[in-house]
Structure 1
Amino acid sequence: MSGSFSPSQITRKPGVTATANGVVAAQHALAARAGAEVLAAGGDALDAAVAVSFAIGVLEPWMSGPMGGGAMMIWREDEGRAHALNYGMRSSATLDPAHYPLSGAGKASDLFPWEAVVEDRNVIGGSSVAVPGTVAGISAAHGRYGRMPWKELLAPAISFAKEGLHVDWYAALVIAASARDLAQDADAAALFLDDGQWPKGAGWTALSNIRLDQSRHAATLSHLAEAGAEDFYRGDIAAMLVGDVTAKGGFLTVDDLADYAPDWSDPLVIPFRGGQLFALPGLTAGPTLAHAIGTWTEGYSAEEAATPKAHLARAAALKAAYKARLDGMGDHESAKAPGCTTHFSIVDRDGNMVAMTQTLLSIFGSRVVSPSTGMLLNNGIMWFDPEPGKPNSLAPGKRCLMNVCPVIGEAPGKRFALGASGGRKIMPAVGQIAGHIIEQGLSMQAAIEAPRIDVSGGDQVVADERLAGPVAEALAAAHPLALAQRMPFPYAFACPAGVLREGNTNSGTTETFSPWGDGVTAD
């Protein structure tokens, strides 16, 4: 067992509770507030999701945005059922795998330990950009369930973009961590850096008001608000996007965008003690979650959920589930990868719910900004194995394999929407938090705050330092173990956000150490 900690203080983030009113839990409080205001105005949970999706793409642009992809789980109270919607990225139909020759220089340095490609063409720059799906996904969901006009729902994001993201200590830290890569693209450097090398806010004080110039982003959103989501795939925005990606050496055509469509499906139904989880099927973490929970619940009773025996069962099940994923689906993302995704959860006054995860893949995506739209581009091509003949090998017109894991959960008398950011750390966190609610009857706040383990590939188990003692000793006897602190940056564990409805009372919260995240009620 590595690491030795003696926790001397407890840090908490009070969740919010609203009788009858809706709640939004998101990784940025301003985005959560924008969604809550939509709910207060009579909007559906899907209306709020549109507002939050676009707002958080402005407020946390290095994690997600219109140029990325994702997925959501939806609960419709009037239908009494859940729906799964996948709008992940895909490779261009014109992509040439020969453009990504292996360099022979060892492993790639980003999220996935693939064999390195010449010039990191699959990791950074225009050649790493995949066909985006977020706008198509959120538009499809809004078209089916939304009540409020599209234009009104984009207004908060437009306002935030016109004002420009405030570069506080956390934003400055995130930008500084990627400054070297951002400096390689003139448009990214202009947006995020000073003099092409120093992060904006490098000399900030507590009273500074340094802001990113997101005026081009605002203009694109304003056009999207007026023209509708179709314009992103078949109109002026589509033409600008194709032109920019092509100019930066990528594969993207007008046909790629015009042919893109999100996938509606029935969810996986995962039995969990006296409750169940609804999760995404297919190329997501949903099947891996089903494997893990189906295995670990055989190893202990619900009454033993907090014991060393239960933690051992979870660790073994997570290892087995990830081995099956690695062998059969080709997902080899590094378990040490930083969180580079956004998740938010919403419940409205009628009990409708949304659990939505969206991403650019890496932090800052391709580290390339589209000058015509003002937005960061994804690096979804990195999701594919550049070696031929593998389950997830790079090919044209192919869906990306994602680690997103939004869920709708049910237990007697309660229902919840939950998900997280954090790459391969997402699924273990979602499963354990759901277990805390279903097996132990914890509130969403208590479940998110509770210590947990991470087992997301490889032999090592990472445990929250608060598990030091009998649990850690039992884990160390069976697995290589490291104890870790929960801190604002970097995250040793996933960054969850969830809402819960019990009777007519809604509540919600986010990761305790998320500097910007919060739950907001629709007062």
Structure 2
Amino acid sequence: MHDDNFSNAQVVRKTVIATEAGVVASQHRKAAQVGAAVLAAGGDAVDAAVATSFALGVVEPWMSGLAAGGCMVLWRADERRAHVVNYGMRSPRELDPKDYPLSGAGRNTDLFPWESVVGDRNVQGATAVAVPGVVSGMGLAHGRYGRKEWRELLGPAIALAQDGLLVDWYSGLVTASTARALSLDPDAAAMFLDEGRWPIMGAWTTTAERHLDQRALAASLRQVADGGPRALYEGALARALVADVRAKGGSLSEEDLAAYQAEWAEPLAIPYRGGHVYAAPGLTGGPTFAQALRLLEERLPAGGRGPDAQAYRALARSLDEAFRARLSGMGDHESAKAPGCTTHFSVVDRHGNMCAVTQTLLSIFGSRVVSPATGILLNNGIMWFDPEQGKPNSLGPAKRVLANYCPVVGVAADGRQFALGASGGRKILGAVLQLSSFLVDHGMSLEAAFHQPRIDVSGSGQVTADQSLAPEILQALAQEMPTATTRRTVFPYAFACPAGVLREDGRNMGCTEVMSPWGDAVAG
């Protein structure tokens, strides 16, 4: 019997279980298991973050990896304070804006609606590669707070890469979305495509498992494990990476890598409802998040019993105003429709130390170029810059990128503590704001907050709302600004893909985006 309403009757849920053990919530269960094992062995939250970060670069290669950049916000229970590690990308010092002439063909169709560049040199290929930061960032955090040996923490990622990612329907779906671009680079095609054209697909039976060939990546991870974080920036691995990038036309140099250092930064401490939410400063989503949170506190009366029409209207107005300020003052003009290829995970250990970690290659599969000597899929961080000169965030040499990732940690007035973040381009900020509000303003459980329908308002002057919201909420949003409805799906995501952990009364819990087929929270 066919039922036209069957799809509307489907319910997808993820159960949240409280535990006295630590928890890792990640967009890939295998990476979460790696981090949870570190926690179970007595590791600090930072140890688990390092192990999870490198494992994610193997099992979610199109999202992050050794060529990624990003940011970590930490909460140290013994210090009762937050810290930030910034490991954003930089443009190479030899980059010449004249090498990125405008084509006159209109606007680019990838993440950012910049004016198109001849040959998409700022989007695709080695000319789009920026200086990566994630290895330096993990090394900086580990140097201060790590308990476990660096080499030990990279061991699981090496093993995963040696075996190669087990492909399945979801990896095939993601790869199919970028197969044509991957086919343009022989080394990317060899790693991710069949016959240089088709996505490598998993079989329905376990007798015909297929794996990506990531053995070159495993060898690079061994060099980073044995030589420490600087091994990517100085020495044989750095020379091999630079040689490959330059052979394919990029401007990355050994000097760029040698000069790169992740940095500690003072977090933005945003007072909210008697507690604080801590976000990253500078060229991230943090300042815009801080403005939106302040506006929300002004517009939404305290003591909410649940997100009603008034609450969603306040969220929409606060996000819209904050994004208008961002777009006019910070030079961030990315398309609200493109998902980006970011990944986020959150960690809490049994002592209450927390990490909210976001890392990214920028576009899905980054520059769609693989370094053959190292097995590293390269970022396309140059696309973060506006190729038109004289604009906010214009392309230039040795410049920091303006990114939109927004990891946060929060300490609520009731004593609950949380770490949150998301992937999803410009949609990240709204997701983190709403989850923070659900937890703090409405006292929701972590499970309820992650299952609560969300909206997206990202500077386009309109609302994208989950169609499962109550009619009176949708009507209230439509009175505020033009509103379109959509549903949460597996791919592509209509909204951001968050991951978070929460600590309450000495017990920990975690959750990931409900529609993420790979995402999970694992206790250790």
Measured against the shorter chain, the TM-score band is: over 0.9
* Match status 1:69 vs 2:69: yes
- Aligned match of 2:135: 135
* Equivalent residues in 2 for 1:479-498, closer than 5 Å: 479-498=481-500
> SS of 1:278's equivalent?
strand
Q: Is the 8 A contact 2:317 2:480 kept in 1?
A: no
Q: How many Å apart are 1:340 and its aligned residue?
A: 1.3
- Aligned match of 2:86: 86
> For the residues of structure 1 that align with 2:47 and 2:204, how far apart are their CA atoms?
37
Q: Is the 8 A contact 1:15 1:508 kept in 2?
A: yes
- Aligned match of 1:229: 229
Q: How many Å apart are 1:449 and its aligned residue?
A: 1.1
> For the residues of structure 2 that align with 1:72 and 1:320, how far apart are their CA atoms?
26
Q: How many Å apart are 1:6 and its aligned residue?
A: 8.7
TM-score (normalizing by structure 1): 0.97
How much identity, in percent, do the aligned residues show?
59
- Across the aligned residues of Structure 1 and Structure 2, the Cα RMSD in angstroms comes to 1.3
> For the residues of structure 2 that align with 1:322 and 1:51, how far apart are their CA atoms?
34
* Match status 1:456 vs 2:458: yes
* Equivalent residues in 2 for 1:425-440, closer than 5 Å: 425-440=427-442
- Aligned match of 1:366: 367
* Match status 1:406 vs 2:407: yes
> For the residues of structure 1 that align with 2:274 and 2:12, how far apart are their CA atoms?
31
Q: How many Å apart are 1:302 and its aligned residue?
A: 2.6
- Aligned match of 1:471: 473
> SS of 1:456's equivalent?
coil
Q: Is the 8 A contact 1:410 1:438 kept in 2?
A: no
> SS of 1:482's equivalent?
strand
Q: How many Å apart are 1:447 and its aligned residue?
A: 0.9
Q: Is the 8 A contact 2:26 2:520 kept in 1?
A: yes
Distance change >3 Å, CA 339–CA 418, structure 1 → 2: same
Q: How many Å apart are 1:484 and its aligned residue?
A: 1.2
Q: How many Å apart are 1:266 and its aligned residue?
A: 1.1
> SS of 2:303's equivalent?
helix
> SS of 1:189's equivalent?
helix
The number of aligned residues is 517
Q: Is the 8 A contact 2:340 2:362 kept in 1?
A: no
* Equivalent residues in 2 for 1:99-114, closer than 5 Å: 99-114=99-114
> For the residues of structure 2 that align with 1:415 and 1:232, how far apart are their CA atoms?
35
Q: Which amino acid aligns with 2:461?
A: D
Q: Deviations over 1:415-474 (max 9, x none)?
A: 111100001000100011011111111121211111111101212201111214100011
> For the residues of structure 2 that align with 1:363 and 1:503, how far apart are their CA atoms?
39
> For the residues of structure 1 that align with 2:435 and 2:6, how far apart are their CA atoms?
23
Q: Which amino acid aligns with 1:28?
A: H
Q: How many Å apart are 1:206 and its aligned residue?
A: 4.1
- Aligned match of 2:384: 383
Q: Which amino acid aligns with 1:217?
A: L
- Aligned match of 2:204: 205
> For the residues of structure 2 that align with 1:455 and 1:302, how far apart are their CA atoms?
22
> For the residues of structure 1 that align with 2:397 and 2:17, how far apart are their CA atoms?
46
Q: Is the 8 A contact 2:140 2:263 kept in 1?
A: no
> SS of 2:111's equivalent?
coil
Q: Is the 8 A contact 2:361 2:378 kept in 1?
A: yes
Q: How many Å apart are 1:300 and its aligned residue?
A: 2.2
Q: Is the 8 A contact 1:87 1:133 kept in 2?
A: yes
Deviates more, 1:479-488 or 1:83-92: 479-488
Q: Is the 8 A contact 1:29 1:519 kept in 2?
A: yes
Deviates more, 1:323-332 or 1:205-214: 205-214
> For the residues of structure 1 that align with 2:59 and 2:266, how far apart are their CA atoms?
32
Q: Deviations over 1:211-249 (max 9, x none)?
A: 101011111111211111111111111101110110111
Q: Is the 8 A contact 1:433 1:448 kept in 2?
A: yes
> For the residues of structure 2 that align with 1:8 and 1:41, how far apart are their CA atoms?
42
> SS of 2:422's equivalent?
strand
> For the residues of structure 2 that align with 1:361 and 1:425, how far apart are their CA atoms?
14
Q: Is the 8 A contact 2:416 2:504 kept in 1?
A: yes
Q: Which amino acid aligns with 1:149?
A: E
> For the residues of structure 1 that align with 2:165 and 2:47, how far apart are their CA atoms?
23
> For the residues of structure 1 that align with 2:272 and 2:237, how far apart are their CA atoms?
44
> For the residues of structure 1 that align with 2:274 and 2:387, how far apart are their CA atoms?
43
> SS of 2:277's equivalent?
strand
Q: Which amino acid aligns with 1:486?
A: R
Q: How many Å apart are 1:9 and its aligned residue?
A: 3.2
Q: How many Å apart are 1:275 and its aligned residue?
A: 2.1
> For the residues of structure 1 that align with 2:188 and 2:285, how far apart are their CA atoms?
31
Determine which of 398, 421, 424 is the counterpart of 1:422: 424
> For the residues of structure 1 that align with 2:267 and 2:420, how far apart are their CA atoms?
15
Q: Is the 8 A contact 2:67 2:134 kept in 1?
A: yes
> For the residues of structure 2 that align with 1:110 and 1:357, how far apart are their CA atoms?
21
* Match status 1:341 vs 2:342: yes
Q: Is the 8 A contact 1:444 1:508 kept in 2?
A: yes
Q: Is the 8 A contact 2:50 2:153 kept in 1?
A: yes
Q: Which amino acid aligns with 1:116?
A: S
Give the gaps of 5 or more residues in structure 1.
Answer: none
Q: How many Å apart are 1:313 and its aligned residue?
A: 1.5
> For the residues of structure 2 that align with 1:399 and 1:444, how far apart are their CA atoms?
35
> For the residues of structure 2 that align with 1:251 and 1:177, how far apart are their CA atoms?
28
> For the residues of structure 2 that align with 1:87 and 1:291, how far apart are their CA atoms?
23
Q: How many Å apart are 1:77 and its aligned residue?
A: 1.1
Q: How many Å apart are 1:402 and its aligned residue?
A: 0.7
Give the gaps of 5 or more residues in structure 2.
Answer: none
- Aligned match of 1:285: 285
Deviates more, 1:29-38 or 1:300-309: 300-309
TM-score (normalizing by structure 2): 0.97
Q: How many Å apart are 1:477 and its aligned residue?
A: 2.2
Q: Deviations over 1:25-58 (max 9, x none)?
A: 0000010000000011111011101100000000
Deviates more, 1:82-91 or 1:445-454: 445-454
Q: How many Å apart are 1:274 and its aligned residue?
A: 2.6
> SS of 1:466's equivalent?
coil
Q: How many Å apart are 1:205 and its aligned residue?
A: 2.7
> SS of 1:467's equivalent?
coil
Q: How many Å apart are 1:100 and its aligned residue?
A: 0.2
